[in-house]
Structure 1
Amino acid sequence: MSTPTQSAIIWPDKFLPGTTDNFVSNEIIVKDITVTQIWEQLNDISKWQSYYRNCDQITEPKTGPRLQKGDVFKFSTFGLPVLTCLVEEAVSPGPGHAGRLAWSTRLGGDTNEKIEVYHAWLVEDLEGNRVRVMTQESQIGEPAARLATAKPNRMLLGHQDWLDGLVKAVKGEEIGETNLESV
């Protein structure tokens, strides 16, 4: 029996995990849902607040709520000011290939406040009627270095909430309490 290969995030060299100040990876594998169902929730930013409570002040791109490469959108998360994000990758899942969504953003200011971020998603079918959903984020800057050593890791917990909420939304389940509410 051959071992199936799982897809991986395509990282710009600047954000390669292990070379940045902070990196977080979250993944979930779920049975009896489809990549199409996940993609419909993930790629439509007008739906994010319905299943991810750690975001608000969403401004859709001029092209509408479905993200496309080159789009610019805005949102606030983790109590940060509104972030202006550039969609770096937006590939719908299809037969034999994973869905990919990634954006970059940066906050200016002095050295203590400056941060650059690359956030990526991957959704793919697995054998046995399963779907893999992964999100990873790589960050550069002093605020990122501080986040990397914080306990509990709020970014890890927040991104897990995003994954869990996404799957619950697809299944039609109530979102309920989040990991961040207990921190």
Structure 2
Amino acid sequence: MTTQNAINWPVKYLPGTGDNFVSNEVIVKDLRAASVWRYLVDTGSWESYYDNVADIAFPDGDGPVLRDGVRFRFATFGRPPLDARVVEFQVPAEGLPGRLSWTARQGGRPEERLDVLHAWLVEDLPGDRVRVLTQESQIGEPAAALALVTPNPMLNGHQAWLDGLVRAAAGR
């Protein structure tokens, strides 16, 4: 039996306690975590495999490669840019999953405010397989409204991101 790792959740964003939560996962053969990680942390490649992200910027002059503590901005789901900061960063290594999480916020009037934690886990599995898990927990009125839409745009959008990431890492 193989035990798979889980996302590390700060209490504030614990799934099921906010206004919207989605989880997307793939397990793919003949691909390694290091290959996926390269495309995941390089925001300069995001728009080449995911069409729901734009206007990526680094206000402190960092980037385009993410690392622990980096602040960045990006637009997604047709919303104004979100202010984000990497809060967990662990490069995948033998026996250790890659972990990447960022918080992202949008201010404004109460009906515009959004506070999210988007987390990624990338791990090698036995049998030359890789598992990529992405989950997001959202707090705010826009998140609550999004959770009522069927099909859920965030669930579908994140699946497109995940699928594009895997295709890019596999060289397709």
* TM-score normalised by structure 1 residue count: 0.91
What is the match of residue 64 of structure 1? 63
Q: Distance in 1 between matches of 2:63 and 2:110?
A: 34
Q: Which amino acid aligns with 2:79?
A: L
Mind listing any 5+ residue stretches in structure 1 that lack a counterpart?
174-183
Match for 1:48 among 46, 49, 56?
Answer: 46
Q: Any conservation in 1 of the 2:100–2:119 contact (CA below 8 Å)?
A: yes
What is the match of residue 88 of structure 2? 89
Q: Which amino acid aligns with 2:30?
A: D
Deviates more, 1:49-58 or 1:63-72: 63-72
What is the match of residue 132 of structure 2? 133
Displacement of 1:103 in angstroms is: 0.4
Q: Distance in 1 between matches of 2:166 and 2:72?
A: 23
Q: Which amino acid aligns with 2:89?
A: A
Q: Secondary structure at the match of 1:109?
A: coil
% of aligned pairs identical? 56
Displacement of 1:171 in angstroms is: 1.8
Where has structure 1 moved over 3 Å in runs of 4 or more?
none
Displacement of 1:63 in angstroms is: 3.1
Q: Distance in 1 between matches of 2:128 and 2:113?
A: 43
Q: Which amino acid aligns with 1:44?
A: D
What is the match of residue 176 of structure 1? none
Q: Secondary structure at the match of 1:64?
A: coil
* RMSD (Å), alpha carbons: 1.0
Q: Secondary structure at the match of 1:8?
A: coil
Q: Any conservation in 1 of the 2:82–2:105 contact (CA below 8 Å)?
A: yes
Q: Distance in 1 between matches of 2:140 and 2:105?
A: 10
What is the match of residue 34 of structure 1? 32
**How many equivalent pairs are there?**
171
Q: Any conservation in 1 of the 2:146–2:152 contact (CA below 8 Å)?
A: yes
What is the match of residue 12 of structure 2? 14
Q: Which amino acid aligns with 1:158?
A: G
Displacement of 1:69 in angstroms is: 1.1
1:89-142 CA deviation, whole Å, 9 max, x = no partner? 111000011000010011112221111110000000111110000100000111
Q: Any conservation in 1 of the 2:81–2:106 contact (CA below 8 Å)?
A: no
What is the match of residue 21 of structure 2? 23
What is the match of residue 107 of structure 1? 106
Q: Distance in 2 between matches of 1:109 and 1:146?
A: 16
Mind listing any 5+ residue stretches in structure 2 that lack a counterpart?
none
Q: Secondary structure at the match of 1:6?
A: coil
Displacement of 1:78 in angstroms is: 0.4
